[in-house]
């Protein structure tokens, strides 16, 4: 059973770069059957898709964040990562990683989520 776990700093200063890692267990990130995604949720608000990466390294990003987002993969560690630059208070949110089927385009499973607060 595949499980995902987010990790990274819970506090980031304004204008700095938010960095998170998602560790995949119970399955290989090299599998050609899946994309690996990041989704975020500000407190009390809805869900926003940030972007995804395929095991080959191919990425797609939400245009609303594209200029600030980088998603990368480390297949040797079975991890993928998110970097969001020039953060502001509006980037404060719970960040989730999730698996998306390559042809089965739904998110399952999800990580438990990690709260990142942007504050000086």
Applying CB under 8 A, the residues found at the interface with other proteins are 46-49, 60, 62-64, 96, 98, 104-108, 110-113
Angle at 12 between CA 91 and CA 22, to 5 degrees: 75
CB of residue 4 vs other proteins: minimum separation in angstroms? 9
Taken in order 99, 100, 104, 108, the sign of the CA dihedral is positive
**Shortest Å, Cβ 107 to other proteins:** 7
Least gap, CB of 90 to other proteins (angstroms): 17
CB neighbour list of residue 37: distance below 8 Å, 6 or more residues apart: 49, 50, 51, 52, 53, 97, 98, 99, 100, 107
Nearer Cβ to other proteins (32/106): 106
Question: Which of 43, 76 has the CB closer to other proteins?
Answer: 43
Q: Rounded to an integer, what distance in angstroms lies between the CA atom of residue 39 and that of residue 113? A: 9
Q: How far is the CB of 61 from other proteins (least distance, A)?
A: 8
């Amino acid at each position: 059973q595949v499980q995902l776990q987010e990790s990274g700093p819970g506090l980031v200063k304004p204008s700095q770069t938010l960095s998170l890692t998602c560790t995949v267990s119970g399955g290989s990130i090299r599998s050609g059957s899946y994309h690996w995604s990041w989704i975020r949720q500000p407190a009390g608000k809805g869900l926003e898709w940030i972007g995804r990466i395929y095991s080959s390294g191919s990425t797609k990003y939400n245009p609303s964040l594209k200029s600030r987002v980088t998603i990368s993969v480390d297949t040797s560690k079975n991890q993928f990562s998110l970097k969001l630059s020039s953060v502001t208070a509006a980037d404060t949110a719970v960040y989730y990683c999730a698996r998306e089927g390559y042809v089965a385009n739904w998110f399952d499973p999800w990580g438990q989520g990690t709260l990142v607060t942007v504050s000086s």
